A and B are shown apart, each in its own frame.
Chain A
């Protein structure tokens, strides 16, 4: 079955700097890669997703890149702000969605 690895587990960046979170997956049949943001005690919220026929997608300060050959995808957040502090989960989907273990992002003032 699918296995999703996510790094780093914790990330601290200065406000205004960029943050990058990386994920790898094992099942080459996976074709949909969403990213979720979860604030403490709340539900995961989809922030961006990418499908296997696209290499990059951008939405304002958030971008995701996908390398199908290497089976890895990354989340990029630019000009980070305090409200970006949260746990971020990557996921990969073939017939079911498998989540990475999460990255706790701290934005330092």
Chain B
């Protein structure tokens, strides 16, 4: 059973640029959630994808967008990067919305630095 993999692991971007982060969900999991974790804080919910459809969104502006593909892998896109976007971006997969007791399996994250 493969776990959740994220790429790249680290990234440095300039303010105003665009970035795409990628996530492969754990085998058998059809739900992917993206979180932003700033230093010293807990993960903040960005959005969730279930079977290629967005299923809920947190308090993030529209320049944060995403996709889920038929194989349940997912992308997070951020346009017009701001300095405050610097954070650890975590992808979490879970078996499905119906199984809300299962908890998440997280990838190791992408550490984004905006300069």
The finding on whether chains A and B are genuine partners in a shared complex, rather than unrelated, reads: no
Binding site for A on B (CB under 8 A): none
Binding site for B on A (CB under 8 A): none
